[in-house]
Amino acid sequence: MKSLSIIASVLLIVSSVMAQEGATVPVTNTGGASTYSCDPNTCKIENNCRCASVNAPGGLSPADTPQFVTVTYDDSVQEALMKTALSMVNVTNPNGCPGHGTWFVSMEYTDFSLVQQWYAAGNEVADHTFSHVGTPSAQEISSVREMLNAYAGIPVSKIQGFRAPFLNYTKDTLNIVGQQQFVYDSSSSAVTDDVYWPYTLDNGMANDCWTGICAAGQVKLPGLWEIPMYSVLNTANVPQLMDVYLAGTATETSQWSQAAFDKHYNGNRQPFGIYVHPTHLSTYAGTPDPKEKFDAVIKLIKDISAKPNVWFVTNQQLLQWMKNPVKASELGAQDYMQCKQPVIAKEICNGLDDDHNGAIDDGLVNSCNFGTTSMKTCFNCPATAPSLSSPVPASSAQNGTAGYRYPLGDGCDTTWWDPIGNTCLCTSSDCQVKSMAVPKSNTNTTDSTSDASSQDSNGSNGSNGSNGASGLVSHFASTAIIAVLFAGLSQIL
Ligand SMILES: *[C@@H]1O[C@H](CO)[C@@H](O)[C@H](O)[C@H]1NC(C)=O
Ligand SMILES: *[C@@H]1O[C@H](CO)[C@@H](O)[C@H](O)[C@H]1NC(C)=O
Ligand SMILES: *[C@@H]1O[C@H](CO)[C@@H](O)[C@H](O)[C@H]1NC(C)=O
Ligand SMILES: *[C@@H]1O[C@H](CO)[C@@H](O)[C@H](O)[C@H]1NC(C)=O
Ligand SMILES: *[C@@H]1O[C@H](CO)[C@@H](O)[C@H](O)[C@H]1NC(C)=O
Ligand SMILES: *[C@@H]1O[C@H](CO)[C@@H](O)[C@H](O)[C@H]1NC(C)=O
Ligand SMILES: *[C@@H]1O[C@H](CO)[C@@H](O)[C@H](O)[C@H]1NC(C)=O
Ligand SMILES: [Zn+2]
């Protein structure tokens, strides 16, 4: 008998969560796995349908399959957390482009100017509800997209993913996610027999069946992808999901994680995930220093990124590949794997250091103060603090007056939009872009398990087509870590 245990935090969390998420449960799926059936002859990718399977799509052999690694982050975006998050995708993919990750953002305590930087660097931003509640209303989910669009300038169409707070996803929540036309959910877990590649919910859920979610009549959402969260087994074979580094010593958790990675890498190459709450790996005055755990996680990341055909990608990049799987040797040339930044000579408030003076958006970010709370944004400050019932209140500045910031223009991507000048600096396909690709220095050509030929692919192609992807921003204001708002400490999942 194995059990599912999500080691969450040294801190108190809602006891019902422990009861639910920490309970010992059988892995053999009496909850309905046996009822999942899917016919690959009718469920075809041309119709945005894919059956749950442990085998790679497109009939690719493991040797031809890229090993994807997804690093994901949950909860609010703040300065110290962002620094931690960036250091966890500070790797170079085989095509010379930087690794990227996915942040499931909740709105409270979030710095929207940092969200914009995260996105501008080529990373993904996804929805984790407004106020981090276990049973979210439709408004809890939709307000996140409105706010990320209004205050971080992210096109709504680029906010495609959802993760349930406390991973407490239900049929009702998934139905809302489907109604709001998200591309994917990533709240479920996969342990041993249910380590499926991402699949669509046309035929219901196929993993995590112990919750009963797989039973007939539960979920049927054609076209909505499920990206399972892949767990790591500890020495006692107990699956660990998020924040594995909290479940043992740094040495132990490195060993468990390395073994789990090897199982994927030497097996069918299902994606491997590293799922974190950056708070636990960030250093704060007055709390125990997690540096040893942090260093161990970084070492794991560097070690696995040095192996042939290992790619650190966003969930959106992973799904792009799922929809059109190509051999590992061809991945580096795909549009969605390029890394380009716009060439803009003057600083605009777009999340990038356009004038290369070492500071992002310097002097252009708005600080909005609402008395007890505050937020930062390249866009207009709302006249009152955003709330669940009014996530994007009217702005304090008026259109046409000095200081007004213009919302992201239709069809413009974030990095090209000047909110002060009210202009999109790229409206055609031949805008000047600069590739951020660098030669990969630690290329390991002794891959015994794959053809390794992706090492030759050239990501630094001067071709255009701005995909929004761009280089990893490595600049940080080196100010002392400011006291982070911690009212949300119970909100750790
Ligand atoms: C990324 O790694 C390089 C080299 O190891 C290091 O100099 C740099 O500070 C790192 N950046 C971040 C954001 O961790
Ligand atoms: C999880 O969802 C169920 C069903 O909506 C609810 O009863 C439970 O309280 C939720 N758990 C948490 C921690 O919010
Ligand atoms: C480079 O760009 C050209 C033109 O867009 C394209 O045909 C070619 O496949 C690209 N090569 C790589 C390695 O990206
Ligand atoms: C600002 O005002 C101009 C002129 O009245 C109008 O064309 C434009 O749509 C307004 N923009 C916004 C974002 O309200
Ligand atoms: C290169 O890969 C081989 C086989 O996977 C491994 O034994 C070796 O340690 C790797 N070398 C480096 C420098 O990562
Ligand atoms: C990679 O692309 C760059 C820019 O187009 C080019 O200068 C270089 O020769 C290419 N390298 C290979 C190996 O194709
Ligand atoms: C971008 O693409 C357009 C049309 O495909 C082409 O005319 C232009 O030369 C390209 N620019 C660069 C920098 O590759
Ligand atoms: Zn959370």
- Per residue in 138-161, pLDDT (tens digit) is 999 999 999 999 999 999 999 999
- Return the minimum-mean-pLDDT range out of 4-8, 211-215, 376-380, 402-406: 4-8
Predicted local confidence at residue 105, as pLDDT = 98
Residue 462 above 50 pLDDT? Answer: no
Q: Is 462 exposed, middle or buried (0-12, 13-18, 19+ CB in 10 A)?
A: exposed
Predicted local confidence at residue 287, as pLDDT = 85
Q: What are phi and psi of 179, to 5 degrees?
A: -60, -35
CA of 413 to the centre of ligand 8 (A): 27
Predicted local confidence at residue 429, as pLDDT = 84
**Residue 479 domain-assigned (yes or no):** no
Predicted local confidence at residue 190, as pLDDT = 96
Q: pLDDT band at residue 451, thresholds of 50, 70 and 90?
A: very low
Cα–Cα nearest to 169, from 56, 273, 21: 21
Residue 448 above 70 pLDDT? Answer: no
**Residue 263 domain-assigned (yes or no):** yes
> Residue ranges of the alpha helices (H) in 287-406?
291-305, 315-323, 328-331
Name the percent of the chain lying above pLDDT 90.
Answer: 78
| DSSP assignment letter at 395 | B
Predicted local confidence at residue 439, as pLDDT = 81
Q: Is 458 in the pocket of ligand 3 (CB under 6 A)?
A: yes
**Residue 236 domain-assigned (yes or no):** yes
Cα–Cα nearest to 422, from 460, 455, 371, 378: 378
Partnered with residue 230 across adjacent β-strands are 190
**Residue 415 domain-assigned (yes or no):** no
Q: Do residues 69 and 274 lie in contact, with contact meaning Cβ atoms separated by under 8 Å? A: yes
**Residue 231 domain-assigned (yes or no):** yes
Environment of ion ligand 8 (residues, CB < 5 A): 74-75, 165, 493
Tokens of 85: 């998050």
Residue 274 above 50 pLDDT? Answer: yes
C-alpha 460/C-alpha 470 separation (Å) is 12
Predicted local confidence at residue 263, as pLDDT = 97
Residue 443 above 80 pLDDT? Answer: no
Residues in CB range of 79: below 8 A, 6 or more apart: 111, 114, 476, 477, 481, 482, 484
Residue 178 above 70 pLDDT? Answer: yes
CA of 334 to the centre of ligand 3 (A): 8
C-alpha 25/C-alpha 29 separation (Å) is 10
**Residue 442 domain-assigned (yes or no):** no
Name the percent of the chain lying above pLDDT 70.
Answer: 82
* Section 467-489 average pLDDT: 24
Q: pLDDT band at residue 217, thresholds of 50, 70 and 90?
A: confident
How far, in whole angstroms, is CA 377 from its chain's centroid?
Answer: 21
Q: Is 444 in the pocket of ligand 5 (CB under 6 A)?
A: yes
Range of the domain at 170: 26-338
**Residue 162 domain-assigned (yes or no):** yes
Q: Do residues 458 and 333 lie in contact, with contact meaning Cβ atoms separated by under 8 Å? A: yes
Q: Is 465 in the pocket of ligand 3 (CB under 6 A)?
A: no
Domain count, the chain: 1
- Return the minimum-mean-pLDDT range out of 117-126, 382-391, 405-414, 451-460: 451-460
Residue 461 above 80 pLDDT? Answer: no
DSSP assignment of 110-136 equals --HHHHHHHHHTT-EEEE--SS--SS-
* Section 455-473 average pLDDT: 26
CA of 295 to the centre of ligand 8 (A): 23
Q: Which amino acid is it at 350?
A: N
Predicted local confidence at residue 284, as pLDDT = 87
Q: Do residues 177 and 141 lie in contact, with contact meaning Cβ atoms separated by under 8 Å? A: yes
Q: Is 297 in the pocket of ligand 2 (CB under 6 A)?
A: no
Cα–Cα nearest to 281, from 6, 79, 81, 78: 81
229-230 and 189-190 strand pairing = parallel
Instruction: Tell me the CATH number at 333.
Output: 3.20.20.370
> Tens digit of pLDDT for each residue in 347-371?
999 999 999 999 999 999 999 999 9
Residue 482 above 80 pLDDT? Answer: no
Mutate-to-test residue for ligand 1 from 88, 89, 90, highest number of ligand atoms within 8 A of CB: 90
Residue predicted with more confidence, 490 or 275? 275
* Section 475-488 average pLDDT: 25
Predicted local confidence at residue 475, as pLDDT = 21
For helices 171-179 and 138-152, what crossing angle results, to 10°? 40
**Residue 425 domain-assigned (yes or no):** no
Mean predicted lDDT score pLDDT of the chain: 85
Q: Do residues 285 and 277 lie in contact, with contact meaning Cβ atoms separated by under 8 Å? A: no
> Tens digit of pLDDT for each residue in 102-133?
999 999 999 999 999 999 999 999 999 999 99
DSSP assignment of 170-200 equals -HHHHHHHHHTT-SEE---EE-STT-PPPEE
Q: Which atom of ligand 5 is nearest to the CA of 444?
A: 1
Tokens of 124: 């993904």
Q: Do residues 206 and 31 lie in contact, with contact meaning Cβ atoms separated by under 8 Å? A: no
Residue 476 above 80 pLDDT? Answer: no
